[in-house]
Structure formats: C-alpha cells, structure tokens
C-alpha cells in the first residue's frame, strides 16, 4: 500500500510517462477510439490525489535458499480472484476504487522495493469519493444475464 505523498508522486510521474508513450504511438487507433468516450488521456492526477494506491503483484516464481527457482502455478487466476475479492471488500467498506493498469508497470518494482520475481499487475486507487464525484452513465450500465451466459 502506497500512502506516502512522495511515492505517490513518483508513481504518477512514471505512470504518466508510460501513458504518454501509449497515447502517442504505441496504442492502435482502434484502442484509442474505444477509449475516446471515457475521456481518458495520459494525465493521471488521481494517482496523487487518492489517499492510497494498492499495488498488486503476481509472484511469477519462488527462489530456494540456494538461488534455484521453482514454479508457481495458476498465478494469473489466483491474482485475478484475489483482486476481485479485494475490490469487493473495499466497496463493501464504503470506499471508492479505480483500477489502473499502465503498461508496462516495471517501475513499480523499484518504487515498492519488490524483486524481479514479482510482476506488477494492477494499481487499485482507493479512498472515499471526492466531493461532487459522479459515476459516468456508461459505468453503471449492466449487461443482462442472457448477454453474459449460456444455458446448456
């Protein structure tokens, strides 16, 4: 969990650098077109404004005392499930969240002091909603059960 203003500033600076690269050349036009209605760009002031940033890492492999590696299995599935439970718990506690996934996120290893065996997956921006905060209409539309399931 990152709460230090100085570290949140570093996260913002590094994330915005990655986002500038993304929005100004790395992203295909189709992706930019899909993002356009959301109004997002490389500016991420919420990374400093929020009280907490939770950096979620996947542990790709373990290391024995002799330095040899051993595999971890079902890492993406486990991290996905754990992240979903974390988000649900934060919402249940009355906190607002925003998931942020600049890519690549290797800068988080350095900022958080994490080893190379860990891969940053997700930043969860967490806190109470700012006064006047509004949830965009598109974010509250839900798909129907028929849209997301098949009954056999």
Residue 2, strand partner residues: 53
DSSP state letter for 27? S
CA dihedral 34, 36, 42, 48 (to 10 degrees): -100
What is the tens place of the pLDDT at every residue in 35-46?
A: 888 888 899 999
* Domain residue ranges of the chain, discontinuous segments joined by +: 5-148
* Ramachandran area for residue 138 (φ above 0: left; ψ -120 to 50: alpha; else beta): alpha
What is the tens place of the pLDDT at every residue in 56-70?
A: 999 999 999 998 999
Nearest-angstrom CA–CA distance, 135 and 125: 15
DSSP state letter for 69? E
Q: Tell me the pTM.
A: 0.85
Determine whether domain 5-148 maps to CATH 3.40.1160.10: no
């Amino acid at each position: 969990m990152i709460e230090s203003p100085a570290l949140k500033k570093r996260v913002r600076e590094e994330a915005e650098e990655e986002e500038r690269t993304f929005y100004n050349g790395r992203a295909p036009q189709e992706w930019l077109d899909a993002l356009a209605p959301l109004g997002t760009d490389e500016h991420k002031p919420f990374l400093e404004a929020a009280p907490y940033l939770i950096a979620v890492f996947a542990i790709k492999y373990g290391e024995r005392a002799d330095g040899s590696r051993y595999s971890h299995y079902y890492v993406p599935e486990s991290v996905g499930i754990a992240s979903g439970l974390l988000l649900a718990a934060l919402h249940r506690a009355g906190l607002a969240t925003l998931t942020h996934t600049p890519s690549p996120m290797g800068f988080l290893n350095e900022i958080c002091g994490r080893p190379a065996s860990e891969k940053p997956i997700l930043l969860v921006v967490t806190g109470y909603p700012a006064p006047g905060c509004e949830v965009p209409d598109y974010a509250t539309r839900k798909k129907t059960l028929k849209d997301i399931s098949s009954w056999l």
